[in-house]
Amino acid sequence: MRDATEAGLAVDLDHVGASYGRTEALDGVSATIPKGSITGLLGRNGSGKTTLLSLLASLRRPSFGRVLVDGRDPFEDEALMEQVCLVRESGDVLPEERIAVNLRYAASARPNWDEDLAGRLLDVFELRARDTVNQLSRGKRSALGVVVGLASRAPLTMLDEVHLGMDAPSRYAFYDALLEDYLAHPRTIVVSSHLIDELDRMLEHVIILHQGRTLVATDVERLRARGVSLTGRTAEVTALVRDEPSLEVLSERSLGPTTEVTVIDRAPAGPDPDTLARLRGSGVEIGPVGLQDLFVHLTASSETVS
């Protein structure tokens, strides 16, 4: 039988603020992270991602608003914090100690620790238990963070840009390991990153922060539904876009007589069925738009969707 905590912990943020002196890092963030989801926490540099995760890990307290993890205030709740694991890019490990010591330490602090998984992941990332953390390259240190984060099997696991220092084969090994273990042991996993194209396939929910505020907090399919690419004869595509005021052009590319435009619907729910039927009936080919393109567009303006 599965452990009751295996389905993960839900997170609720209600108008949350956090500041460093006079810098308002978060300014009224509201969002939920569904229990048992892989959620992408996205945002440009300085948008408040690390600050938000620090609140959930109880490393700091909000200056206003309410943070609830599993319906409880995480601050100074030790029992709850055993269920919450935050790994930052620095690895959050003891740098002077050997990998083996770090793993023993993590195991003692994490009730759901899986020793076999930790061992398998050390092999995947070619880490040697006898090596000292200080000797590791940036990428190997990041990989150690991934080992600790995944083997903890914490009901709320947060990986803050932990894979950015890893090379492409290691990052893909990380994505595969994360998905495989998540499917076998569902829990709430939050991954913060700029590498949206790479995460695209595994995210179920997405929160985009922009300048300390929530720009988008929705399931990925709903966000994806807002963007479409239209490909066809240049005159037809141009006329189509001109006649649909709800569509905003993100980019345009012409090759001979053919034009491809990427558009986003201004409505948070995406194009309505009538608009889609008109587009389909026009003879123009309709395709999907990647999350990365939508992210770039949405964070270039200050529109709030939620």
CB of 286 to ligand ATP, least distance (A): 33
* Position 48 contacts ligand ATP (CB under 6 A): yes
* Position 50 contacts ligand ATP (CB under 6 A): yes
* Smaller CB separation from ligand ATP, 53 or 289: 53
Length of the chain equals 306
* Smaller CB separation from ligand ATP, 45 or 108: 45
Which residue stretch of 42-50, 65-73, 127-135, 196-204 sits at the interface with ligand ATP (rule: CB under 6 A)? Answer: 42-50
* Position 46 contacts ligand ATP (CB under 6 A): yes
Q: How far is CA 222 from the centre of its chain?
A: 15
Which residue stretch of 46-54, 57-65, 250-258, 273-281 sits at the interface with ligand ATP (rule: CB under 6 A)? Answer: 46-54
Size of the site for ligand ATP (CB under 6 A): 11
Which sign does the torsion angle of CA 59, 157, 129, 106 carry? positive
* Position 108 contacts ligand ATP (CB under 6 A): no
CB of 158 to ligand ATP, least distance (A): 12
Residues 45/39, Cβ–Cβ less than 8 Å: no
Half-sphere exposure of residue 18: CA atoms within 13 angstroms, side-chain side: 27
Say how far apart CA 40 and CA 158 lie, in whole Å.
10
CB of 209 to ligand ATP, least distance (A): 6
Q: Out of 40, 43, 74, 232, name the contact with ligand ATP by CB under 6 A.
A: 43
Tokens of 134: 């200080």
* Position 61 contacts ligand ATP (CB under 6 A): no
* Position 283 contacts ligand ATP (CB under 6 A): no
* Position 47 contacts ligand ATP (CB under 6 A): yes
Half-sphere exposure of residue 150: CA atoms within 13 angstroms, side-chain side: 29
Say how far apart CA 198 and CA 219 lie, in whole Å.
17
First CA to last CA distance, the chain: 37
Encoded amino acid at 83, one letter: Q
Q: Out of 25, 106, 154, 189, name the contact with ligand ATP by CB under 6 A.
A: 25
Tokens of 22: 């006079």
* Position 88 contacts ligand ATP (CB under 6 A): no
Task: Please name which of 163, 156, 162, 164 lies closest in space to residue 72, comparing C-alpha atoms.
Answer: 156
Q: What residues make contact with ligand ATP under the rule CB under 6 A?
A: 20, 23, 25, 43, 45-51
